[in-house]
Amino acid sequence: MNLSAIKHRAAFNDCYALSDNEIVINIHTGKDITAVYIIHEDPYIRGISAINPWKGKREKITSRLELEHSFVWSIKLTPKFKRLQYYFELQCGRETAYLYENKIISAADDKIGRQTGHYFKFSWLNTKDIISPPDWVKDIVWYQIFPDRFNRGKNFVDNGKFKAWDDTANITYRDFYGGNIKGIEERLDYIKNLGCNGIYMTPIFKSGSNHKYNTYDYEMIDPEFGTEEDIRSLVAAAHKKGIKIMLDAVFNHCGKEFFAWRDVIEKGEKSPYYDWFFINQSDFIKKDYKTRDGRYYSFAFEAGMPKLNTNNDEVIDYLTGLCMHWVRDYGIDGIRFDVGDEISHYFIKKLHSELKKLKPDIFLLGEIWIDSIQWLIGDEYDSVMNYPLFYNITEFWNYKSMTAEQLMYAVNYSMSLYAEQTNSVLFNFLDNHDTGRVIECCENTDVLLQKLIFLMTMPGSPCIYYGTEIAMPGRCDPYNRRPMPWNDIDIGKYELIMNEVRTIINLRRQYNQFKSSNIVWEHTKEYPRLVTYCKLSDKSDIPLHIALNAGDDARLSVSGEIIYSKNYADNVLKKNGMIIYRG
């Protein structure tokens, strides 16, 4: 028995409350383990006297998630008195061992009794401690918009600064095209007809750049985008159409013209805002565009983006007030936090508390590219951008030597990171403004559609980056931020690919199985790059089968109602083919 692979901690995603009555317990083992049992009962079921020692009920754990080198065994329990004491029995063939909090004991060494080890304990199921992201998010398909490049509204005024909308041959980082908030409102029907019911906008507050991630004034909509009345109008119009709105908050750093930074530049240590930043040298004012000398901390080493001190209570109060204003006065439904892993936990905890009092179902999304468990225990972010899944999808379709089995391991690993309720609202995507566009690493649009089906059939809240529905190209910034080609869209140039995308998105909206985390993988060694899996749902007894062929032509026997297919005929799923059927 590989004892070093066995681990469990009565905390985080190994032991957590799923609901008011139910808890989830996960244990990690090597693949040599053939059976796992949990022995559990209320800790006080037999009193507190040593004369009458505690004993639990033995129950087999049957649910198992397979990773590349390990299993994650999982069970849901409903403790009658909202608390639980437990330990594990593990079997490897004829060998048996017991896992306690402080040790693993073989069956032979455990004859003296269970008191040789400390039991695990779920102390009490407190409702306020349950991870409870907004329920509406798992039913959202987001549409991400980069406002300067999405659409010019009818109120657009050319100030001489903007390039012609269709002039993209020599696009640069500094170009402005004049997209605005009214332009988004005028295209709400387009977004709704695509099947998306949530909009995530990159920053809209005053800034000197086209991307607005160097905020100059958090209290003012950038005049090139519009006014506060425009954002209120957009939110109201979107809500009438059943579309949620999420804004982008850049609180890790500000722009060089932010009032507090300007005051510090002018007054130095005498500025009341000096401690709003991380200034390390008295001669921090230099013309150097990078901060590698450490004179002050900034986003990356960008001197024009000084880092805000989110440990400072004044900064926390200021930023919290901004969010309260956006939620209360604009009526927004969510906030995405840029560079969300560098903001202090202290700040996010306080902000979470205040915003949830104001609007209990506000959605708080962190931009974090790594394992984010420390931000997702229920009192900080509701969700994060699911970069692990993004990498898994990208790698499988990029690297032809990767098998469907390896994709399963990678996806299962991603799902094993967080609580079940968190997985249901993770922000999933194929591309965004920080990545190359998805079509750039696809052989053709069929591969793009395969990836889209995979995205739409994973648990979480999927997002379409504007232009992905027409396979818009763009390998990197600034090419991945081209203006939307509305003239061509409106005359139907992209109708074929858009119809396919629209169909797939609406299948996600129609079938609860698409959203479920209950996945049964069905790949075979005969076709190593044929991705096949079954989706089950608590709300439906009819499973959905998905097959995506990223390899050579494969024979596939289908018994059931086909609800979507491409490149499939006569029981053969061709290369780059895909099929979804009920059966």
- Nearest 5 degrees, angle CA 62-CA 65-CA 70? 110
Q: Which of 412, 405, 422 has the alpha carbon at shortest distance from 72?
A: 412
User: What is the Cα–Cα distance from 162 to 160, expressed in whole angstroms?
Assistant: 6
Backbone angles phi, psi at 269, to 5 degrees: -65, -15
Q: Is 148 a catalytic residue?
A: no
Peptide bond before residue 478 is cis, with ω within 30 degrees of 0: yes
Show Cβ contacts of residue 266 under 8 Å, excluding neighbours closer than 6 positions: none
For β-strands 23-30 and 15-17, DSSP reports them as antiparallel
User: What is the Cα–Cα distance from 30 to 63, expressed in whole angstroms?
Assistant: 15
Q: Is 367 a catalytic residue?
A: yes
| Both tokens assigned to 324 | 């309260």
The three-class DSSP label of residue 72 is strand
Show Cβ contacts of residue 521 under 8 Å, excluding neighbours closer than 6 positions: 404, 405, 408, 532, 533
Query: How far is the CA of 494 from the CAs of 88, 152, 441, 497, in angstroms?
Result: 57, 20, 19, 6
Residue identified by tokens 């329990």 is 77
User: What is the Cα–Cα distance from 185 to 309, expressed in whole angstroms?
Assistant: 35
Asked if 553 and 575 count as a contact pair (C-beta separation under 8 A), the reply is yes
User: What is the Cα–Cα distance from 228 to 220, expressed in whole angstroms?
Assistant: 8
**Annotated catalytic residue within 333, 338, 469, 500:** 338
**Annotated catalytic residue within 222, 367, 382, 469:** 367
Active site residues: 338, 367
